[in-house]
Amino acid sequence: MKAIRVHQHGEPEVLRYEEVPDPTPEPGEVLVQVRAAGVNFADALARRGLYPTLTPPPFIPGIEVAGTVVAVGAGVEGIEVGQRVMGFAPKAGYAELAVMPAAGAMPVPERINFEEAAAFPIVFLTAYHALKTFGRLQEGEAVLIHAAGGGVGTAAVQLAKIWGGRVFATAGSDGKLSKVRTLGADIVHNYRTGDFLDAVRRWTGGRGVDVVLESVGGEVFEKSLRALAPDGRLVVVGLSSGVQPQLHLGLVIMNRLSVIGMHLGSMTVKRPDLVGTSARELIGLLAQGMIKPVVGHVFPLKEAAEAHRLLEGRGSYGKLVLKP
Ligand SMILES: NC(=O)c1ccc[n+]([C@@H]2O[C@H](COP(=O)([O-])OP(=O)(O)OC[C@H]3O[C@@H](n4cnc5c(N)ncnc54)[C@H](OP(=O)(O)O)[C@@H]3O)[C@@H](O)[C@H]2O)c1
């Protein structure tokens, strides 16, 4: 089969389109003919050798696909050859064929095409657990969503509105923000040209927000802590800027704040019960058309390097998807 392989860590050009052996499913796995692969920020970190759970080169990047089941491994029940599935492909996703743990293979609702399906699982599950499980977002609460024009961000804005939140969304360009507004955000703010902390304080009459979804790090994290109301929750899912922030413990103590980390990959291993419940709820919302994966860019698989350049250059909106 054809796949993208990384032979040494580095810039996007290390993503090489090559012929590689076909994978075979182990017990508990299914083999999928990949029709679309989701691009995640974690893929770029893995390519650079910066992701915490590293596979040494050579490796096929990518952790999320949608496609058709072509074979099932021993012990797999409830999934048949020919079924349309989407979900984690943690071993290798940027390929024509990928293996998926059967437990994480979700059925693709009829109204959803493969590009949308590949853009769905990781960002919606991440946004779900960040906002609901750990952020404990309640109806009427104010929520600050950073990088709202990204994959996780566009999912989070939609879910926060469904759950009755009041959404203050930031992004790094006015073009992204005008699209984020159409997702239902109450306020949009370009955090590269204006101080979001002042704007949040004005919007909330000085009180601050109840929940922050943070993935940027550095100064954005530090100001987000100051943007919280007493008893507020700041849920950290990433560090896109690569800049480690300072944690102002005085603020945390005095305002009874919670700073909570969340990692979907580790939840699938340690809390499959929670992930399973959320996946069923999200598929229900998807099938009813209440949420929609935002596919911003589609590239042929062989142009994975271009997709990574766009993602890391902060130029993408919504999800990027690769088509084998
Ligand atoms: N913990 C988890 O389980 C989990 C799961 C999925 C994703 N994540 C994390 O969530 C974040 C979003 O992931 P994603 O895949 O949806 O990516 P994404 O948000 O589509 O892309 C990253 C966005 O981050 C923003 N950003 C801000 N500062 C940046 C910088 N210095 N360099 C690059 N980008 C910067 C950019 O948007 P603006 O220019 O508009 O700010 C960029 O478009 C990432 O940090 C990722 O690692 C975590």
Q: Which amino acid is at 222?
A: E
CA-closest residue to ligand 1 atom 36: 314
Q: Which residues of the chain have pLDDT under 70?
A: none
Residue-range domains of the chain with CATH: 2-120+294-323 (3.90.180.10), 123-265 (3.90.180.10)
Q: What is the pTM of this model?
A: 0.97
Distance CA 155, CA 163 (A): 13
Dihedral of the alpha carbons of 159, 164, 170, 175, in degrees to the nearest 10 = 70
Ligand 1 near 216 CB (within 6 A): yes
Ligand 1 near 34 CB (within 6 A): no
CA-closest residue to ligand 1 atom 48: 237
H/E stretch holding 97: strand 97-101
- Measure the CA angle with vertex 239, ends 122 and 316; round to 5°: 60
**What pLDDT score does 243 carry?**
96
> Among 245, 174, 160, which Cα is nearest to 209's?
160
**What pLDDT score does 55 carry?**
82
DSSP 8-state symbol, 200: H
Sheet strand arrangement including 209-214: 187-190, 166-171, 142-145, 209-214, 228-236, 258-261
> What pLDDT, in 10s, does the model give residues 264-285?
999 999 999 999 999 999 999 9
Task: Give the burial class of 113: count Cβ atoms within 10 A of its Cβ; 0-12 exposed, 13-18 middle, 19 or more buried.
Answer: middle
Q: What are phi and psi of 189, to 5 degrees?
A: -145, 130
Dihedral of the alpha carbons of 279, 282, 286, 291, in degrees to the nearest 10 = -140
CA-closest residue to ligand 1 atom 35: 240
> Among 306, 48, 15, 304, which Cα is nearest to 6's?
15
- Measure the CA angle with vertex 29, ends 278 and 291; round to 5°: 30
